[in-house]
Chain A
Amino acid sequence: MTTFPLPTISDLKKPEFWLLGLAGCLVAIHFTLTDRTKDAQDFLGLSILVWFAVGSLINRKRQSLQLESGIGATLLGAFLIAIILLRTANATVNPGLSFIPLLGGFGLALIASGFKGIRQYWRELIILGLLAVPKELGLGMFNISDFLSLLITKIVGFVLWYVGFQVSRQGNQLFFPSGGIVINDACAGVGNLIYLIQVAIIFLLVFPLSNRKNILLVPIVALALAFLMNLIRVGLLAALSPNNPDAFVYWHEGTGSLAFTFIVVIIFGCYYLFLLRRENAKS
């Protein structure tokens, strides 16, 4: 059985104690503000995942971390954290919640281990940087959503026709005898694709695989799963839409819409666990 020693006065002399407290406060501030922001449920979920991933990575190597810093790095880190504290305390609107974790991580790493020691935290910093990737990337920069929505409409229309629905397609619209739906760029699921890629990167960094083929396979499987789940989602919505408006709202913007993301992340996690087990069994 393990025992947990209580902190003593002598612990106050160690930097770990202060750094942990500071990190805890920053996470709490970020969590509170994100939780208060409306329409940020997916960002909140990813934030929690990121904080746990970073915490677990740090916890594993806490004994071997080198915690020496110089004056320049300490002052720069303190400056970064001071800016974050001022911004969040003043914030009336979103103070930049996507950048704050990365900036705070840099600040803490500089204070903890200096310019040279920051290399120890490259995994953590990449994971924190994932939060700074804008959700709109797929919609604006790589305009793939039009193509995706057309593709989804074609596949869903075909499958519904195949199983016996009376359906006709025109562009990205599906028509039923009693009504129709439009599959617009938000339905293309670009957000989900990016989300699954982010989850895949976190998994790869926290539980590294050694087989190069598997490492390449993971993001591809993540994308394929997200796309497949989106097909099922749109298909279900299309089948529901003509005669069940309440169910449509539930699965489209209600709690039901989150269930799809939940299920796809669970499936992806099982797949990843399978890969890890297989690698361990081989070695």
Chain B
Amino acid sequence: MKLFSNPTTESKDNTDQPSLSTSEPNQAWNLFRRVILATLLGGSAIALTKVVFFPAVNQNVPVTFPEKISLPEWQSEISPAKEASLSRPDADKLLGFVNGKSYQYRQGEKVLTIKMRYFSPSIGDVKAYLTYYNRGIPDSLLIREKQGTGYYGLFNKNQQTHLTTCLTPKGGNIFKREQFLQVRYQSDIRPERFLPWVIGKVPLLDNRCLWIDMSLSGTESNSPSSDYLILEKAWFSWNDYWRSRFEQFRS
């Protein structure tokens, strides 16, 4: 019973192969082949040893947040919020929270609080972050776009006006997951990332994100639109500060 090997094709294969008439190049070729095989075997033994005994652990390097960042027209204050208040144990693991910091500024009666949270790997969805860390998405949510920078959301909740957006390493700010994925495909598939991706150093898409949540309180006006203007202005310079830094930051 011979079911598996087909003798006709195999004998044909043998005749197809160019037979080396002289023994001289044959010898050299055999040696070369053995060297390649030995190198590969050695390499795979090293790789196996590394995989079994020294597995690479996924370490997320936390972003180093400066103690103070100057913001034009705003007076920096010591933030009363501690770092622990930025994390929520039930959501951190799910959303990939790494670390964060809270900043506070004052301009007369107006108080500006900026909460920075770093996610890696992130799902790139500010709505999910608001749901888990700010307890829900208000109905007044507006999504706006600034040309060349990206998308941000504005809303009013508990006498506080918020500007909230996600800064990505390359490709600007996003608000929705669709925007995040679109920006990832547009800006992460580039030649200099190809080799690191092939050897498994970086993922295909750089899915990190820095969530900026700015909230303004203590304004006299009852119309949120003037608050929005103040927030947008502060955000433009804040975003510029972080954009270049985050692009250079490697996890």
A82 contacts B40, C-beta separation under 8 Å: yes
* B14 on the A face (CB < 8 A): yes
* B43 on the A face (CB < 8 A): yes
B13 contacts A66, C-beta separation under 8 Å: yes
Instruction: Pick the contact of A85: B10, B47, B55, B57 (CB < 8 A).
Output: B47
- For window 19-74 of A, CB contacts with B under 8 Å fall at 19, 21-22, 25-26, 28-29, 32-33, 36, 57, 60-61, 64, 66, 68-69, 71, 74
Number of A positions contacting B (CB below 8 A): 49
- For window 240-283 of A, CB contacts with B under 8 Å fall at 280
- B141 cross-chain contacts in A, Cβ below 8 A: none
A13 contacts B40, C-beta separation under 8 Å: no
Interface code A77-90, partner B: CB below 8 Å = 1, 0 otherwise? Answer: 01001110111111
B200 contacts A81, C-beta separation under 8 Å: no
* B17 on the A face (CB < 8 A): yes
A74 contacts B36, C-beta separation under 8 Å: yes
B44 contacts A92, C-beta separation under 8 Å: no
- B203 cross-chain contacts in A, Cβ below 8 A: 93
* B23 on the A face (CB < 8 A): no
* A180 on the B face (CB < 8 A): no
* B50 on the A face (CB < 8 A): yes
B61 to chain A, nearest CB (A): 12
A-B contact count (CB 8 A): 114
* A117 on the B face (CB < 8 A): yes
* B58 on the A face (CB < 8 A): yes
Evaluate whether A28 and B48 lie within 8 angstroms (CB atoms) in the complex, with A18-B34, A208-B3 already known: yes
A86 to chain B, nearest CB (A): 4
Task: For the complex, give the distance between the alpha carbons of A22 and B79 in Å.
Answer: 59
- A86 cross-chain contacts in B, Cβ below 8 A: 47, 198-200
A224 to chain B, nearest CB (A): 26
* B245 on the A face (CB < 8 A): no
11 contacts between A and B (CB under 8 A): A15-B34, A18-B34, A60-B5, A64-B5, A71-B29, A82-B43, A85-B44, A86-B200, A87-B200, A117-B13, A117-B17
* A184 on the B face (CB < 8 A): no
B48 to chain A, nearest CB (A): 5
Number of B positions contacting A (CB below 8 A): 41
- A116 cross-chain contacts in B, Cβ below 8 A: 13, 16-17
Evaluate whether A61 and B52 lie within 8 angstroms (CB atoms) in the complex, with A74-B33, A86-B200 already known: no
* B91 on the A face (CB < 8 A): no
- A117 cross-chain contacts in B, Cβ below 8 A: 13, 17
- A210 cross-chain contacts in B, Cβ below 8 A: 3
Of all A-B residue pairs in the complex, the 6 with the closest CB atoms, nearest first, are A87-B200, A25-B44, A18-B37, A86-B199, A92-B58, A90-B200
- B200 cross-chain contacts in A, Cβ below 8 A: 86-91, 95
Task: For the complex, give the distance between the alpha carbons of A103 and B32 in Å.
Answer: 23
Interface code B25-57, partner A: CB below 8 Å = 1, 0 otherwise? Answer: 000011011101111110111111011100111
Instruction: Pick the contact of B38: A18, A33, A61, A120 (CB < 8 A).
Output: A18
- A64 cross-chain contacts in B, Cβ below 8 A: 5, 7, 10
- B147 cross-chain contacts in A, Cβ below 8 A: none
B93 to chain A, nearest CB (A): 13
Evaluate whether A25 and B13 lie within 8 angstroms (CB atoms) in the complex, with A33-B51, A71-B29, A83-B199 already known: no
Evaluate whether A120 and B10 lie within 8 angstroms (CB atoms) in the complex, with A89-B51, A95-B200 already known: yes
Evaluate whether A29 and B37 lie within 8 angstroms (CB atoms) in the complex, with A95-B200, A120-B13 already known: no
* A114 on the B face (CB < 8 A): yes
* B201 on the A face (CB < 8 A): yes
B14 to chain A, nearest CB (A): 6
* A222 on the B face (CB < 8 A): no
Measured CB to CB, the nearest residue on chain B to A123 is B4
B38 to chain A, nearest CB (A): 7
B33 contacts A81, C-beta separation under 8 Å: no
